[in-house]
Structure 1
Amino acid sequence: MQIKLEGRLDMDRCGALARELAGGLKVGEALALDFSGAATSDSAALALILELRRTTQEKGASLTLRHLPRSLATLAALYGIETLIDPITESP
């Protein structure tokens, strides 16, 4: 399943989005998040990624991040969690 994220990825949106995507994920499914349509993103987007990473691991599924904004990768590095993001990030 590929999901193209659009608009703002902030606290107002990411919690519900994480619950929706994690709840709909099937065992063994491949999930790809495409950030190319994201206008802005903050630490809530990192929380979304980490929640989906945890859920995919639990369900034996896979997660790929496409077109991750540089600002989000920089924020992950600032928080010291880039090693949790890098293995699942695909270069454009």
Structure 2
Amino acid sequence: MLSKRRLTGTISNYRFYAQSLATASNSLLGELNDWETDGDLTTKIGKSLAAIITSLDALQHFKAEMKRSPLMPKRRNADAA
């Protein structure tokens, strides 16, 4: 379980991953726009895709941690009422 302090740090870390995801996506779009002018495009696209995949994986891990956190409010089950 996450403490409030650790949860705050975790949110900060994953905010960084979300920003990295946006940056990598924009980088990939820029590389695709330069398709005809750059001979080393495959390497740059591969690095951009690797950064995107890493960021998505980290964000999925964060989502799972948030669901387990005692600090997050639990949703009420509509069927239980």
Same structural fold, with TM-score higher than 0.5 when normalized by the shorter chain = no
- TM-score normalized with structure 1 length: 0.30
Give 1 or 2: higher helix fraction. Answer: 2
Greater relative CO (CA pairs within 8 A, separation 6+): 2
Give 1 or 2: higher strand fraction. Answer: 1
Kindly name which structure, 1 or 2, has the bigger radius of gyration based on alpha carbons: 2
